[in-house]
């Protein structure tokens, strides 16, 4: 499994990943600094997605807002994917913890 391609599905997955990691990064053999960076990246993506969604609901089509959302999404995924792979490959992280992370 990986991360969903659709923004509507990726937003809750990213938010859960961030919240779960921030609750106790040591469970996932990560540092507080990594959890903070993940929270910032996810927050930027969610904010950009929410702004774009609101603009579209108001009839505004903005290539700049779409580009901002896409950039935030790429930055978030570039940060999450190596952590996800590390956790999935780890034999010391419990299955329960892996499931909680997503």
pLDDT at 1: 57
pLDDT at 22: 96
Is the distance from CB of 41 to CB of 83 less than 8 angstroms?
A: no
pLDDT at 87: 94
Interatomic CA distance for residues 42 and 11, integer angstroms: 8
pLDDT at 2: 82
Is the distance from CB of 48 to CB of 7 less than 8 angstroms?
A: no
Mean pLDDT by 10 residues, the chain (102 residues): 88 96 95 96 97 93 94 97 94 93 86
pLDDT at 71: 98
The pTM (predicted TM-score) of the whole model is 0.91
């Amino acid at each position: 499994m990986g991360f969903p391609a659709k923004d509507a599905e990726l937003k809750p997955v990213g938010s859960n990943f961030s919240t779960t990691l921030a609750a106790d990064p040591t469970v996932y053999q990560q540092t507080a600094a990594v959890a903070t960076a993940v929270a910032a990246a996810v927050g930027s993506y969610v904010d950009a997605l929410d702004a774009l969604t609101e603009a579209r609901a108001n009839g505004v089509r903005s290539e700049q807002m779409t580009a901002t959302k896409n950039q935030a999404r790429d930055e978030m995924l570039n940060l999450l994917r190596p952590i996800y792979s590390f956790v999935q490959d780890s034999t010391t992280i419990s299955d329960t913890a892996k499931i909680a992370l997503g």
